[in-house]
Amino acid sequence: TLPRVYVTRQIPPEGLKILRESGQVQFELWDSDDVPVPRKELLEKVKGVDGLLCVLTEKIDAELLEAAGPSLKVVSTMSVGFDHLSLEELKKRGIHVGYTPDVLTDAVAELTVALLLTTSRRLIEATHEAKTGGWGTWRTLWLCGYELANSTVGILGLGRIGVAIAERLAPFKVKKFIYTDVAPRPELASTINAEYVSLDQLAKQSDFLALCCALTPETKEICNKDLFSKMKKTSIFINTSRGGVVNQEDLYEALSTGQIAAAGLDVTVPEPLPTSHPLFTLKNCVILPHIASASYTTRNAMSALAANNLLLGLRGEPMIKELKL
């Protein structure tokens, strides 16, 4: 009999096609993209499966792995982020884990640049003014923002995505790229001419600060009161990584008291962010509903990669992109 697989979401067609046409698995699907599978249903469905294909709304923790039982050999997530996975619990059970880096780098970098410009040039405020009668006349300092030309751009966590963002920003005549990470990454940094600095210097020097790190115990709320207090009053803060990297109360304080100029966030805690959240009341905060990788091409590529990782893992072969545990 074929290995059994549960897919926690109606993922884009390319991945489903690969699973279907492989003839290699029997799979069951949570047949909706609009609501995540309820936890109770998920715990039922994973019983005795050999593989699990999930998205980032599912917590893959000890409880879920216990519910699945010893048959579970492979978890494949359709995401580059892995903070929803209890890596220690997976490792303990010898489960192989696939994820989807690289295929989303271009889409995430494009969205990050779009969000950065939207935030720094106040585009959401501007369209709102234009259509609601605020456009009284052309004014000399009205809706002024900050430009990339001659600026210093800071990258917190330099990986593939940080490099791709810097490559796209360089033609805007950025003066200097700086970055921090747990250790210098000279090979990556040399491709974008970025200088390694401390977190302290990153906060102090950046005109634009982009978060490009994974959420781990080390990066949790690394952007807090202390960091914001060192930033320039004219600086722009951009987060397309994970909401948990930021202390949101401290960010609200920094934005509402003018400690920093503006923030653009594609990720928050929680997601969705309740519409009553104070951050939504701020004109200098642009909030997107976690769409950085949301292009048709990229989401289909992520779906296909997650499916292929799963099939390879179930055959006991190396996955295309396997997370080292």
Residues in contact with ligand GLV, counted by CB under 6 A, come to a total of: 6
Q: Quick one: three-class SS letters along the chain?
A: CCCEEEECCCCCHHHHHHHHHHCCCEEEECCCCCCCCCHHHHHHHCCCCCEEEECCCCCECHHHHHHHCCCCCEEEECCCCCCCECHHHHHHCCCEEECCCCCCHHHHHHHHHHHHHHHHCCHHHHHHHHHCCCCCCCCCCCCCCCCCCCCEEEEECCCHHHHHHHHHHHHHCCCEEEEECCCCCHHHHHHHCEEECCHHHHHHHCCEEEECCCCCCCCCCCECHHHHHHCCCCCEEEECCCHHHECHHHHHHHHHCCCCCEEEECCCCCCCCCCCCHHHHCCCEEECCCCCCCCHHHHHHHHHHHHHHHHHHHCCCCCCCECCC
Of 76-84, 124-132, 183-191, 205-213, which segment contacts ligand GLV by CB under 6 A?
76-84
Of these, 25, 80, 90, 174, which contacts ligand GLV (CB under 6 A)? 80
User: Closest residue (Cβ) to ligand GLV?
Assistant: 81
Q: Which is nearer to ligand GLV, 81 or 278 (CB)?
A: 81
Q: Which is nearer to ligand GLV, 138 or 190 (CB)?
A: 138
CA angle 242, 205, 113 (to 5 degrees): 45
C-alpha 59/C-alpha 64 separation (Å) is: 8
Based on the residue annotation, tell me whether 290 is a catalytic residue of this protein: yes
Question: Cβ 26 to ligand GLV, closest distance in Å?
Answer: 27
Interface mask (CB under 6 A) for ligand GLV, residues 46-65, using x and -? ----------x---------
Q: Which of 84, 128, 277, 290 is catalytic?
A: 290
Question: Cβ 71 to ligand GLV, closest distance in Å?
Answer: 27
Q: Does 79 bind ligand GLV (CB under 6 A)?
A: yes
Of 78-86, 123-131, 278-286, 303-311, which segment contacts ligand GLV by CB under 6 A?
78-86
Q: Does 36 bind ligand GLV (CB under 6 A)?
A: no
Question: Cβ 324 to ligand GLV, closest distance in Å?
Answer: 17
Question: Cβ 56 to ligand GLV, closest distance in Å?
Answer: 6
Of 2-10, 77-85, 215-223, 308-316, which segment contacts ligand GLV by CB under 6 A?
77-85
Question: Cβ 76 to ligand GLV, closest distance in Å?
Answer: 13
Question: Cβ 140 to ligand GLV, closest distance in Å?
Answer: 10
Give residues 266-305 in contact with ligand GLV (rule: CB under 6 A): 293
Q: Does 81 bind ligand GLV (CB under 6 A)?
A: yes
CA angle 133, 135, 140 (to 5 degrees): 160
Q: Does 101 bind ligand GLV (CB under 6 A)?
A: no
Instruction: Dig out the tokens for 153 from the structure.
Output: 């751009």
Active site residues: 290
Interface ranges with ligand GLV (CB under 6 A): 56, 79-81, 104, 293
